[in-house]
A and B are shown apart, each in its own frame.
Chain A
């Protein structure tokens, strides 16, 4: 019985380690977000402290959208900003109508990070979401 139990235990431990690695800050995780009807889906995401996340963003709308990660200050800067397109900075990307885009972002050790679209009127319309770190 012990001969059987040991390998089973090892397999279970290996599985547990694999599962934990998804929350390992040192590894990259992929999260897919859809933009439809000028809303993000999902609009709330949980990540591990210090995690690096590759966001794959699919814009299902016939209009361009943005995905801007940052705190309230970052969001305000973009709401009042003058950049027509984004993509050079991590966590900031413009996703054109009907296309898919990617951006990678490393989160801090805790707190909450907002993501939003700052195309005219979109943020006020409610096109925003929240990343909860921890």
Chain B
């Protein structure tokens, strides 16, 4: 039996892999327990994946869990190396929610509420009270970086990190700085939206990450918004609790509203396609991601969707002894041929 929350506490739910760092002063237990029962605190965030001009614009929000849990952090897998991570619009995500879930009260005014080697650090930045680090590395390297920096990884993290690292070795780690949060008066539950610009020919949105740290039968609720240059082909289309609720030309009012928000100047004010996917699935059903083909060819990648693993990179180390011998013979034959040409008398040319 599924356990459903009576209401969606957050109207839109984001795509973030939440990891819990050990809070200072917390009682230590076997293996460094965070809580006596080892539970993971999962926060809800809000996400928009826009794709325009070959750049994925990923807008998500991290919620501050209060000073007592100021060490909460998260890691988000990314499809490529971001060129920039900046503060996102103040109400972009809320406006998207309003587009699909209008207020219950008619005539209510729209509220513009603000709400081991180890991995290689590509860059670091601060956004309000958030410390952002973009990492490059395999699952082991990123996992080690995370544990070395005080993140607690749930037991399914090794498999999930490997699932993502096989397709893209880029991850974004975010955690609130307790001191800055206090200085800035960030209150519990307040969201800090960030905007990640990722040039990529092959956009995808991580979904499997939503089940991280959860029990297999835990219900995952999420809303994913897409804004693309044309109607996208999606993979998977409708399966395992992922439902395409809206697929239509984006209204000019929506685009105008969004484009006027901070950092949203990239968004054209017309000719965009709006998609809304509602995710209402058990964690064990989310064993895939969402691949997007907005090129018009209608061929979203099964690899990008996480349905099949990427091909193993060709490696010289994998060559068999027979292959090595064949290569050596060919090289020798080539060298002999070159030597023969060089040694040939030039009389014919001269004559």
Contacts and interface: CB of A to CB of B under 8 A. Distances in A.
Given A64-B147, A97-B147, A120-B35, A37 B30 contact: no
Nearest to A65: B31
20 contacts: A38-B156, A61-B140, A62-B141, A62-B158, A63-B157, A66-B30, A66-B31, A80-B29, A82-B28, A84-B30, A94-B31, A97-B116, A98-B140, A117-B31, A119-B31, A120-B34, A120-B35, A121-B40, A122-B155, A125-B154
Contacts of B58: none
Interface string B25-38: 00111111111101
B206 interface: no
Given A62-B116, A120-B152, A82 B142 contact: no
B30 A78 contact: yes
A60 to B, nearest CB: 8
A124 B30 contact: no
Contact of B213 (A63, A82, A85, A121): A121
Contacts of A119: 30-32, 38, 155
Interface range for B:
20 to 34
A78 B30 CA distance: 7
B153 interface: yes
Contacts of B155: 38, 63, 119, 121-122, 125, 127
Contact of A120 (B33, B144, B147): B33
Given A62-B158, A84-B28, A127-B155, 18 more contacts: A37-B162, A61-B143, A62-B142, A62-B161, A63-B143, A63-B147, A64-B31, A81-B29, A81-B30, A82-B30, A84-B30, A85-B31, A97-B143, A97-B147, A119-B31, A120-B29, A120-B152, A121-B39
Nearest to B153: A63
Contacts, number: 99
B29 A122 contact: no
Interface string B233-260: 0000000000000000000000000000
A84 B40 CA distance: 18
A64 B147 CA distance: 9
A84 B32 contact: yes
B139 interface: yes
A118 B31 contact: yes
Give chain A's interface secondary structure class. loop
A120 B143 contact: no
B308 to A, nearest CB: 19
A112 to B, nearest CB: 22
A80 B156 CA distance: 21
Interface in B142-186: 142-144, 146-147, 152-159, 161-162
A83 B32 CA distance: 8
Contacts of A65: 31
Contacts of B30: 66, 78-79, 81-84, 86, 118-119
B154 A121 contact: yes
Contacts of B152: 120
A63 B35 CA distance: 17
Given A36-B158, A37-B159, A121-B213, A62 B29 contact: no
By CB atoms of chain A within 10 A, which of B27, B31, B144, B153 has the most?
B31
B116 to A, nearest CB: 6
B38 A62 contact: no
B28 A62 contact: no
Nearest to B40: A121
